[in-house]
Amino acid sequence: MPLNPENRKRYPKDWTQISDRIRFDRARSRCELCGIPHGSRRADNGSRVILTVHHLDARPENCDEKNLIALCQRCHLRADAELHRANAHATRLSKQVSEKQARFPWLTGPPRPKEVQTPCLYNPGRNTRPNRAERPLKAKKKNRALRIGKARKKR
C-alpha cells in the first residue's frame, strides 16, 4: 500500500523490505485475521485482495515485528476504524470553524489593534484615559455643577 507523502518521513528507509517480510514470509501471503490470500478475489464483491501491514500501536516509527500484522484492506479498515472516526470528527470541526470564519469574519477575524495611547488628563502618570468608573469623584461633581449652572443661565 503506498505511503502518504506527509507520513513518509515517519517510516524507516527499509520499510518495503520490512513490509514484504511481514506480508509474505511471516503471514505466508494471507491476512492474519480473516485468512484470505493475497491477490485473490472476494466472493461478495469481486474486489482484488491486497495485503497491507498494520501497526498495532498506530505509530509508524515502531517497526518491531511484535507491533506489525499483515491484514487485507477490509480488516485494516476495521482495525483503524476508531482512528478514522476521530480524524473525520476533527476534520468536520475544522470545516465548521472555517465556514464560520467565512460567514462571520468580524467574529473570528484577526485580533484588533491596540488602542491608541492618549495622555490622561486626570492622572499625568497614566498613559491612557481611565474609564468612567475610575475617574475621580471630584471631576464628576465639578462637571455636573458646570452643566447645571449652564442650564440655569440659558433659562
Show the cell assigned to 97. 470553524
| Residue pair 34/72 in contact by the 8 Å Cβ criterion | yes
Amino acid at 14: D
**What are 125-155's pLDDT values in tens digits?**
555 555 555 555 555 555 666 666 655 555 5
pLDDT at 74 over 80: yes
pLDDT at 34 over 90: yes
Predicted pLDDT of residue 84: 87
Domain spans in the chain, listed from the N-terminal domain onward? 8-79
Predicted pLDDT of residue 65: 92
Predicted pLDDT of residue 54: 94
Is residue 140 within a helix (H) or strand (E), and if so which, with residue range? helix 137-154
What end-to-end distance do the CA atoms of the chain give, in Å? 92
Predicted pLDDT of residue 103: 72
pTM: 0.58
**What are 95-121's pLDDT values in tens digits?**
887 777 777 666 655 555 555 555 555
Average pLDDT of the chain? 78
Rounded to whole angstroms, how far apart are CA atoms 102 and 83?
A: 29
Show the cell assigned to 146. 458646570
Predicted pLDDT of residue 125: 55
